[in-house]
Structure 1
Amino acid sequence: IRKGNEIAKFFADNKVAVIIYAVEKSLDSYKFNLLYNKQLFIDQLKTNNLTKRTIDEGSMDEKSGMNFSEYVAILSGNTDLLDKAKLEKQIAGLESEKQAFNRSKSSAKFKVQDYMEMLQSTQSRLSRMSTDWENLQQRLQKRSDGTIENPVLLDGLPPNANPKQIGAKLNEIANKARTAGDYREIGNLYGFQLLVKTELPKDNSTLERVNRFFITGEGNIKYTYNNGLMAKDPETAAMNFLRALEKLPGFVKQEQEKIAEIQKDLPILQEVVNGTWAKESRLSELKTELAAVERKIQLSITPETKQDASEQAEKQNEAPKVQESIIRTKGVHSPRGVL
């Protein structure tokens, strides 16, 4: 700052703003934007942040209203270059859209396969659960007050064992049974098999074995209550298997809702798989237009090339004549006596 600038010294922290002006829609404006993008890339490289390292060549200079292709076209005087750039940009956009459509179509195809398999397995599971529920309803025994009987029959206990005896026996099995990972039948309830299985904890945090209890019927689906763990209280333990069967209506409803949801989504996915891209004709038209523009540009360049080639041929034809005249000139000798 020059010494005489008292205003900047006392009122502007001894600083003067330096402003560089650029005319809009001019080459100067384009240069400034180009430098800005260059510096942006450098900063991104330094900070290892390249998530937005893209430039849209067709709209890089939106603020000034002109892009690179327009500058090239104006400076070269050939607007066909600008038309070519615009067509290429439209084609690139449509091809990107087509690729996205094909990706979604492929993804939908795999989803349809998964949904079909899921639908079949869910329908099969629902059918087996419905069979178990129908069998249970046919075999249920109720007391005079409307409550459900719990006639659990365990191996090693008499048929008329009371709930405390049943619960004590189940706790004994829970403490002592070792099935080595297999299902072992221990009794039945309403024609359903009662099973126990010895398991190790999934997280392998301890070597302590856990015995889990299951009940299964004709549908070959294993139902549990309290995650298969037996309660310590004998009377509560005796009700474990009946409580597991009482959850059957809820399971049937869940499977029905799952089937309804799959059947709702499946037609939409099938429509995507069977659909066709609607802009294929537009893409073909643009490619045809681009080919025409490229031929036009090529034709505008070809005459100059031919003219240059003809000029070179003429020069090559003139070269032997010049050499021949030089040779003839050198071949003329004057008589010795003539000076």
Structure 2
Amino acid sequence: RDAATGKLAEIDSSVSFHSDKIKEAKADLACFEKRVDRDTEGLPINKLTIKGVEGSTDIEVIAARLHEIDEKARTKGEYNKVGEIYGFSVMVKTESTSKDLFDCSVNRFFVKGQESIYYTYNNGKLASDPKLACQNFINALERIPKVIESHEKEMEKVSANKEVYTTIASGAWKKEDELRSLKGQAAELDRKIALTLAPPEEEKETEEEKQEQEYGVSGKEPTQETRSSVDPISHKQTENTPPSEQVTQTSQDNRGVMNRVVISKPKWR
């Protein structure tokens, strides 16, 4: 849940960023459309002015100045203003890059919006052709609608999973209820297994009662008096039999017992 909360914060931050950029770009577009002059074909007229040749409208002169700036400018990563078009600032920025294992500096050109957006065309690189070089900045302003579209797509992509993370972060994720239910079922199953393995108390009590009935209290064997009372007939017969007959009967009983005894012979290996 903590991870979902963190992810949700990232999504909200990204949505806020793209939303702000969309507002800025729309404001810049409205400003540009209000200021721009167009020819009979609807194409914007290029009203570019560059420092050093401010009063010139010659494309060749303006392009030469732009290429000079491109060759000599070193801004150390900062944006420097070098001109203007329809009230928007024309900027140059020196960026460091590596090529063939060597560090080198590259200048890129931008048109700054009213707030924080820097619009560019051809990745900020000037064309060698004079007309195309001067056209770079008006083309950058014409791309504002595409910038708006790009931020809208990014915001839509980022917001795609926001609902899922919001549900998880709020603690209302249905999987938690399912997991809680499964844990309860597992605990109930463990309890039933434990009861199955343990012998019931009733069976123990029944076994003890049975032993008491057979042997008397505390599991003792029947006494001599008990055995006599169990077989009164045989006891009376013994009392009425003369002593000599009792001895004979006893010896006969002993022989009968011996006859039933089986003596096993030792096994010879």
TM-score band, normalised by the shorter chain? 0.5 to 0.7
CA–CA distance in structure 1, aligned partners of residues 195 and 55 of structure 2: 97
In 2, are the aligned partners of 1:133 and 1:248 still within 8 Å (CA)?
yes
- The structure with the largest alpha-carbon Rg is 2
CA shift at 1:251, angstroms? Answer: 1.1
In 1, are the aligned partners of 2:93 and 2:109 still within 8 Å (CA)?
yes
For residue 191 of structure 1, what is the amino acid of its counterpart?
G
- Structure number having the greater strand percentage: 2
CA–CA distance in structure 1, aligned partners of residues 131 and 66 of structure 2: 10
Any gaps of 5 or more consecutive residues in structure 2? 205-269
1:177 equivalent among 65, 73, 77? 73
Q: 1:243 to 1:269 in 2, by over 3 A?
A: same
CA–CA distance in structure 1, aligned partners of residues 79 and 91 of structure 2: 6
CA shift at 1:258, angstroms? Answer: 2.8
1:131 and 2:27 are equivalent in the alignment? yes
- In the alignment of these two chains, the number of paired residues is 197
CA–CA distance in structure 2, aligned partners of residues 120 and 158 of structure 1: 40
Root-mean-square deviation (CA), in Å?
Answer: 2.3
In 1, are the aligned partners of 2:38 and 2:44 still within 8 Å (CA)?
yes
1:111-260 to structure 2, matched below 5 A, reads 111-202=7-98, 205-260=101-156
CA–CA distance in structure 2, aligned partners of residues 210 and 262 of structure 1: 33
In 1, are the aligned partners of 2:38 and 2:45 still within 8 Å (CA)?
yes
CA–CA distance in structure 2, aligned partners of residues 207 and 255 of structure 1: 33
Length-normalised TM-score, structure 2: 0.66
Structure with more contact order per residue of length (Cα contacts < 8 Å, sep ≥ 6) = 2
Q: Which stretch of the first structure deviates more once superposed, 137-146 or 257-266?
A: 257-266
Structure 2 match to 1:282: 182
1:50-101, CA deviations, whole angstroms, 9 ceiling, x for partnerless residues?
Answer: xxxxxxxxxxxxxxxxxxxxxxxxxxxxxxxxxxxxxxxxxxxxxxxxxxxx
For residue 177 of structure 2, what is the amino acid of its counterpart?
A
CA shift at 1:212, angstroms? Answer: 1.1
In 1, are the aligned partners of 2:111 and 2:140 still within 8 Å (CA)?
yes
For residue 214 of structure 1, what is the amino acid of its counterpart?
F
For residue 125 of structure 2, what is the amino acid of its counterpart?
L
For residue 26 of structure 2, what is the amino acid of its counterpart?
S
In 1, are the aligned partners of 2:98 and 2:104 still within 8 Å (CA)?
no
Structure 2 match to 1:81: none
Any gaps of 5 or more consecutive residues in structure 1? 1-104, 304-339
CA–CA distance in structure 2, aligned partners of residues 203 and 167 of structure 1: 26
In 2, are the aligned partners of 1:191 and 1:217 still within 8 Å (CA)?
no
CA shift at 1:296, angstroms? Answer: 4.3
Q: 1:119 to 1:171 in 2, by over 3 A?
A: same
1:182-229, CA deviations, whole angstroms, 9 ceiling, x for partnerless residues?
Answer: 211101111111111122215683233211111102132111111111
Q: 1:281 to 1:212 in 2, by over 3 A?
A: same
Length-normalised TM-score, structure 1: 0.53
In 1, are the aligned partners of 2:75 and 2:94 still within 8 Å (CA)?
yes
Q: Percent identity?
A: 25
Q: 1:262 to 1:197 in 2, by over 3 A?
A: closer
CA shift at 1:150, angstroms? Answer: 0.7
CA–CA distance in structure 1, aligned partners of residues 95 and 162 of structure 2: 39
